[in-house]
Amino acid sequence: VDPDWKSLLAFAMAAAAAVESATDEQRFRDRLAESEPSPAEVAMAELLAAIYGWRESESAYQAARSAGAPGGIVDRTIWGPTMAVAAARWDIDDDANDERIAALVERTGYARGRALLTQAQGLRASRRGEHAKAEQLLFDAVQAFATLNLEYERIVALADRAGALVAQHRGEDAAAALGEVRAYAERAGAKALLRTLDPAPAAV
């Protein structure tokens, strides 16, 4: 089976997870299994499904890392930053991978990767209670994704920024951000993202 076809099956699993179609996700998982994938390909597919299905899974992350994912410069450049965001969101310490991916993104000038790493830094700052720093980093990520016309990524970063705004008692700004996120998720059928949204905070 063409490796690109296996990648498409992984993307299909992630898309099915995003819209919470368990039947389709399993169907694509079965087709991937029939293609004789490597352990890294299986682990990466499961990790992407967890990320886009908004299912926190340190085990999926660690399985992917143990299997050597992301492997190859293309996968490291494209999916390494996505993994950095997942690690930050799930509070997983993986400094070695984060530093390797940051150096690669800097060397390649990959704009999407740079925006994702900024988002990861914002999430890490939020975990440390540095909410003003987190909000600024996440604002920068939102702006970068907007410039790149990456709407899903922009919306996810906007949801993260809303959390930092709430932590700063900026309820009105957070409510506006979450309203935009909710409208997008409903319009796009992003059920997994929609499920994560708390009721809009009262204005403070």
Residue 117, Cβ neighbours under 10 Å: how many?
23
Instruction: Read off the tokens for 4.
Output: 């690109």
According to DSSP, residue 70 is labeled S
**C-alpha 165: how far from its chain's center?**
20
pLDDT of residue 70: 86
The DSSP element (H or E) to which 162 belongs, if any, is helix 151-167
Instruction: Read off the tokens for 166.
Output: 């709430």
Note the pLDDT tens digit of each residue in 32-89: 999 999 999 999 999 999 999 999 999 999 999 999 988 888 889 999 999 999 999 9
Express as a percent the part of the chain with pLDDT over 70. Answer: 95
User: Contact, 97 vs 83, CB < 8 A?
Assistant: yes
